[in-house]
């Protein structure tokens, strides 16, 4: 009730179950004087209509809710200022500064016209997930929590312990006995299961590039800062290397050291894609609330083509070549301020049609933007698409995301003069939207001819597919 500071008038709660009220009449207007406890306005709730007495003496400085408006209990309705004082507008809480590091600015990536502008490569190596002692042995084998714990504590592989429990499982008794009798402890299972399990064998584990939460990658092979402590000369500044940057640096170096990088390129006449997209864009927006970008058309065609080129979706693993009946497609995404990148992965794209891929990409973009990606979202990729062309570049040589075998680069869609056939079959000049696509591949596994055929087939699809094919 002090006349020395501003006082807020709030919507009262007229009854325990009441959650809102309506302002029915202001008895004073802005600028008018009012005494404490004098009626200031009339309100209506679902229980009762009543007047609200002013909580303070002074002048009505602001009226924030108009007659007829309904607001929640506790909402500020007005401000009473001491007479003669300025009504200070309550300071706005400063908008949250957009956080740098992990903010995936996929608004850029979000399909406006162009495909998501991304930079090079997938990101730093992942944190290796600790694997529970995986049950090997017969398919029924189940390891109970206590057995798992004891196994982990002693470095014992439960798969090697004779089990006397139901279905042959290893019981607590069994493993305790085994340990007591000096059963030999072994390493955790060496053959990795799907793409998920990082093998502990020396060659790099990373199942896939991990997310922004920057941890120095396991086997931390951080490049020793070479030019160490040279003094800064005038005009030079320095800033620390972030964990993410360090991770990217490590991965890029390792990737180039591991794979034999070769790039082949092909030019694709995208006029059909443009036409289909023009038609589908409003439909998709209206019916599904998603926007089909060029990227998703290309992604669809890529997934279909990869079915015929398993090695390009595969992996060179030691002495073996691993191929899959699924395509987990990674999309390289630039982070805000170009301070790093993420490669979220859409799993099992072989089962998705255009709408499915559009939705999946939209979702993952949204989650990348709102920092809601999970570790699963950035692991397990089998092939990656990157789009450096958002800035207009027409060619590039991206770095492969280990341990994948290849990466597709998409570039700016440019209207070019193009040799086309007129209706008499004669050559003539036309104007076509042309996009350059590159496939950068690991030549240890993939030869130029294979890469060339892949690109040819990809182009074929993009140039001939109708709406129903997508």
Partner 1 sequence: MAVREAEPVNSLREIREAGLDREDLLGIYRHMLVTRGIEERGHILYKQGKIPGSFYTGRGNEASAVGVATAMGPRDVGTPLHRDMGVHVTRGVEAWRIFAQYMGRADGPTKGKDGNVHMADSRLGLLAMVSHLPAMLPVAVGCALAFRIREERRVAVAWFGEGAAARGDTHEGMNLAGVRRLPVVFICDNNQWAYSTPTFLGYGIEHVADRAAAYGFEGVVVDGTDVLAVYREAKRAIEKAREGGGPTLIECVTLRMEGHAVHDDAFYVPKQLFEEWAAKDPIERFRNWLRENADLSDEEEDELSAGVKKVLNDAIARADESPLPDPRTVTDGVYASPEELDTPHH
Partner 2 sequence: MAEITYIQAISNGLREEMRRDDRVFVIGEDVGVYGGAFKVTLGFQDEFGPWRVIDSPLSETAIIGACTGASIMGLRPVAEMQFSDFVSCAWDHIVTVAAKQHYRAGTPVPITIRLPSGGGFSGGPFHSQNPESSFAHIPGLKIVCPSTPEDAKGLLASAIHDPNPVLYFEHKHLYRRIKGEVPDERYETPIGKARVHREGTDVSVITWGAMVYTAGEAAQQLEEDGVSVEIVDLRSILPWDKQAVLASAEKTSKVLVLHEDTRTGGFGAEIVATIAEEAFESLDAPIKRIAAPDTPVPFSPPLEKAYIPQVDDVVAGLRELAEY
Interaction between residue 53 and partner 1 (CB under 8 A): yes
d(CA 373, CA 45): 44
Interaction between residue 51 and partner 1 (CB under 8 A): yes
d(CA 148, CA 301): 45
d(CA 420, CA 413): 18
Burial label for 360, CB within 10 Å (0-12, 13-18, 19+), is buried
Binder of residue 145, out of partner 2, partner 1, none (CB less than 5 to 8 A by kind): partner 2
Query: Residue 94 or residue 145: which is nearer to partner 2 going by CB?
Result: 145
Question: Which residues make Cβ contacts (< 8 Å) with residue 404, sequence separation at least 6?
Answer: 315, 330, 381, 382, 383, 384
The position carrying tokens 């908008």 is 95
Task: Give exposure, 134-160, as e/b (b: 16+ Cβ within 10 Å).
Answer: bbebeeebebeeebbebbeeeebbbbb
- 203 Ramachandran zone, left/alpha/beta (phi>0; psi -120 to 50): beta
Beta carbon of residue 29, minimum distance to partner 1 (angstroms, whole number): 20
Interaction between residue 134 and partner 2 (CB under 8 A): no
Task: State phi, psi for 99 to the nearest 5 degrees.
Answer: -70, 145
Query: Residue 9 or residue 61: which is nearer to partner 1 going by CB?
Result: 9
Binder of residue 144, out of partner 2, partner 1, none (CB less than 5 to 8 A by kind): partner 2
Query: Residue 41 or residue 385: which is nearer to partner 1 going by CB?
Result: 41
Q: Which of residues 135-174 bind partner 2 (CB under 8 A)?
A: 144-149, 165-166, 171-172
Residue 318 half-sphere exposure toward CB, CA atoms < 13 A: 9
Query: Residue 53 or residue 375: which is nearer to partner 1 going by CB?
Result: 53
Beta carbon of residue 162, minimum distance to partner 2 (angstroms, whole number): 16
According to CB under 8 A, which one of 6, 23, 45, 209 is a site residue for partner 1? 45
C-alpha pair distances (Å), 327 with each of 23, 256, 310: 59, 23, 10
Interaction between residue 18 and partner 1 (CB under 8 A): yes
Contact 199, 118 (CB under 8 A): no
443 in active site:
yes
Interaction between residue 74 and partner 1 (CB under 8 A): yes
Beta carbon of residue 88, minimum distance to partner 1 (angstroms, whole number): 21
Query: Residue 146 or residue 431: which is nearer to partner 2 going by CB?
Result: 146
How many chain residues are in contact with partner 2, going by CB under 8 A?
A: 10
Point out the catalytic residue in the list 8, 447, 457, 469.
Answer: 447
Point out the catalytic residue in the list 37, 49, 422, 443.
Answer: 443
Closest CA to 248 of 96, 410, 126: 126
Beta carbon of residue 152, minimum distance to partner 2 (angstroms, whole number): 10
Contact 209, 123 (CB under 8 A): yes
* Residues assigned a catalytic role: 443, 447
Per CB under 8 A, residues contacting partner 2 are: 144-149, 165-166, 171-172
Per CB under 8 A, residues contacting partner 1 are: 9-16, 18, 37, 45, 47-55, 73-74
């Amino acid at each position: 009730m002090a006349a020395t500071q501003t006082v807020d008038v709030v919507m009262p709660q007229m009854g325990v179950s009441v959650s809102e009220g309506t302002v029915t009449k202001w008895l004073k207007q802005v600028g008018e004087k009012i005494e404490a406890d004098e009626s200031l306005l009339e309100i209506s709730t679902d229980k009762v209509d009543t007047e609200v007495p002013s909580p303070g003496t002074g002048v009505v400085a602001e009226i924030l809710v108009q007659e007829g408006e309904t607001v929640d209990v506790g909402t500020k309705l007005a401000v009473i200022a001491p007479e003669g004082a300025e009504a200070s507008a309550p300071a706005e809480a400063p908008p949250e500064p957009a956080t740098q590091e992990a903010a995936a600015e996929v608004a850029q990536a979000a399909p406006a016209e162009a495909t998501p502008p991304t930079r090079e490569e997938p990101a730093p190596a992942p944190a290796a997930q600790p694997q529970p002692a995986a049950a090997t042995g017969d398919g029924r084998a189940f390891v109970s929590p206590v057995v798992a714990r004891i196994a982990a504590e002693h470095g014992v592989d439960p798969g090697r312990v004779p089990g006397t429990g139901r279905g042959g499982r290893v019981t607590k008794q069994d493993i305790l006995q085994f340990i007591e009798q000096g059963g030999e402890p072994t390493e955790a299972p060496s053959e990795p299961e799907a793409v998920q399990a990082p093998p502990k064998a020396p060659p790099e584990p990373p199942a896939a590039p991990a997310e922004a939460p920057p941890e120095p990658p396991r086997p931390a092979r951080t490049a020793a800062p070479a030019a160490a402590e040279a003094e800064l000369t005038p005009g030079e500044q320095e800033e620390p290397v972030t964990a993410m940057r360090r991770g990217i640096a490590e991965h890029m170096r390792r990737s180039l050291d591991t794979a034999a990088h070769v790039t082949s390129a092909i030019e694709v006449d995208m006029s059909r894609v443009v036409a289909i997209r023009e038609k589908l864009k409003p439909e998709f927006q209206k019916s599904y609330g998603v926007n089909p970008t060029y990227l998703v058309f290309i992604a669809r065609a890529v997934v279909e083509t990869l079915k015929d080129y398993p090695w390009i979706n595969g992996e060179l693993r030691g002495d073996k070549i691993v191929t899959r009946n699924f395509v987990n497609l990674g999309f390289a995404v630039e982070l805000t301020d170009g301070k790093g990148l993420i490669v979220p992965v859409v799993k099992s794209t072989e089962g998705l049609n255009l709408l499915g891929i559009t939705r999946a990409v939209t979702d993952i973009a949204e989650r990348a933007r709102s920092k809601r990606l999970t570790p699963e979202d950035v692991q397990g990729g089998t092939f990656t698409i990157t789009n450096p062309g958002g800035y207009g570049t027409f060619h590039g040589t991206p770095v492969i995301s280990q341990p994948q075998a290849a990466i597709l680069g998409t570039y700016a869609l440019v209207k070019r003069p193009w040799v086309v056939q007129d209706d008499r079959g004669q050559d003539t000049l036309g104007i076509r939207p042309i996009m350059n696509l590159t496939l950068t591949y690991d030549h240890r596994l993939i030869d130029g001819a294979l890469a060339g055929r892949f690109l040819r087939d990809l182009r074929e699809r993009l140039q001939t597919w109708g709406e129903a094919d997508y």
